[in-house]
Amino acid sequence: MEVQMFNFAYFFWVAIAVGSYIGLYYLLKRFSIKTQKIVIFSLLAFALVLHFLKVLIPPFSTDKERWLTESWPINICTANIFLYPFLYLSKSKIAKDYMFYLGILSSIIAILYPVEALEKANQYAEYLDVIRFYVHHIIIGVAPTLMVMLGHHKLDYKRVWSAPVILLVVMLFIMVCQVLQSELGYVDIRDKDFFDPNYKNSSFIWGPGDNSLAKVFTAVCPKFFKTVPIGEYVGQEKYWPWFWMIFPVFIYITPLSFGLCMFFENKNFCTDVKRLFTVIKNKTNKTNDSTKTNPTDAKNSTTDNIKTE
């Protein structure tokens, strides 16, 4: 069953993903909080174990070099698979906010536009890896969603800043992993071509490369981060690794996270907005009352002075 955009297999996996969200939610509602937490953590732990078990299936089982390079957390989704079990066990609210926002966004994007599956030259020979791809991206979306919908974690729209900030930290983590890969000999050193951003760069950390989708990010990147600032290549176009993504990440991830948050925080947000308008209105009324009072006081003072004379 080969996956192509909008064919039967494509919608089959979309249906599986939607069914997983809905089915697991209504199923777990019947169980205790302890059981719910065990199931959610088990999903995240299974995703991490599955990442390493992929060495047993093609194309990784037939290409040892590829397994050695791609078993590392060298893209955002893989990094999240590594981090989510530990973030879930933590008591950090902002970490769990990040899990929810990036989990859902990553899951939705990957399932609606399954690049990894579409780019396979022979899906029939690698059908198990296609299944693995969908299972991974369903889990990183379903688990954090269940965490919020079942009431184990409460979102706060005032913390939406955590999503872009932690994502940028995760990107730094990915950069460190890629540098270590090079220094330990897992992949070639990337300085063979100073201007090539297409080398081991699925998350666009080293630059947009030739990917047409990256134009969405380059459009909001300041020109300063697009040129070499000093040295032999000064003035030539080259995106600053990691730094060039700061503006795009904040510009896109913040409102998207806020929108997701509004499904759960809309009442609190509306209440706070009304309270803010009330405070502004009261201050405005006080200012107007003060303005009206002052001319009268001045007039009375003048009248008193005339009578005294």
Quick one: pLDDT at residue 201? 84
pLDDT, tens digit, for every residue of 72-95? 998 999 999 999 999 999 999 999
Q: Report the distance separating Cα 259 and Cα 250, nearest Å.
A: 14
Q: Which is more confidently placed, 24 or 190?
A: 24
Q: What mean pLDDT comes out for the span 15-43?
A: 97
Q: What mean pLDDT comes out for the span 189-196?
A: 67
Quick one: what percent of the chain has pLDDT higher than 70?
Answer: 91
Domain ranges across the chain: 8-269
Quick one: pLDDT at residue 284? 84
pLDDT, tens digit, for every residue of 122-180? 888 899 999 999 999 999 999 999 999 999 999 999 999 999 999 999 999 999 998 89
Q: Report the distance separating Cα 17 and Cα 137, nearest Å.
A: 9
302 has pLDDT over 70: no
Q: What mean pLDDT comes out for the span 54-62?
A: 90
Q: Is the pTM of this model over 0.85?
A: yes
305 has pLDDT over 50: no
Q: Report the distance separating Cα 193 and Cα 228, nearest Å.
A: 14
CA 306 to chain centre: 73
Residue 200's pLDDT band (cuts 50, 70, 90): confident
Quick one: pLDDT at residue 190? 65
Residue 307's pLDDT band (cuts 50, 70, 90): very low
- Max mean pLDDT among 55-69, 181-195, 292-306 falls in 55-69
pLDDT, tens digit, for every residue of 5-23? 999 999 999 999 999 999 9
298 has pLDDT over 70: no
Mean pLDDT of the chain: 90
299 has pLDDT over 60: no
Farthest-apart Cα atoms in the chain, separation? 109
Q: Which is more confidently placed, 193 or 38?
A: 38
3-state secondary structure the chain: CCCCCCCHHHHHHHHHHHHHHHHHHHHHCCCCHHHHHHHHHHHHHHHHHHHHHHHHCCCCCCCHHHHHHHCCCCCHHHHHHHHHHHHHHCCCHHHHHHHHHHHHHHHHHHHHCCHHHHCCCCCCCCHHHHHHHHHHHHHHHHHHHHHHHCCCCCCCHHHCCHHHHHHHHHHHHHHHHHHHHHHCCCCCCHHHCCCCCCCCCCCCCCCCCCCHHHHHHHCCCCHHHHECCCCCCCCCECCCCCHHHHHHHHHHHHHHHHHHHHHHHHHHHHHHHHHHHHHHHHHHHHHHHHHHHHHHHHHHHHHHHHHHC
pLDDT, tens digit, for every residue of 242-282? 999 999 999 999 999 999 999 999 999 999 999 999 999 88
Quick one: pLDDT at residue 67? 80
Quick one: pLDDT at residue 197? 81
Quick one: pLDDT at residue 296? 52
Which residues are registered as beta bridge partners of 237? Answer: 227
Quick one: pLDDT at residue 191? 61
Q: Which is more confidently placed, 301 or 159?
A: 159
Work out the angle at residue 296's Cα, subtended by the Cα atoms of residues 291 and 299, and round it to the nearest 5 degrees.
130
218 has pLDDT over 80: yes
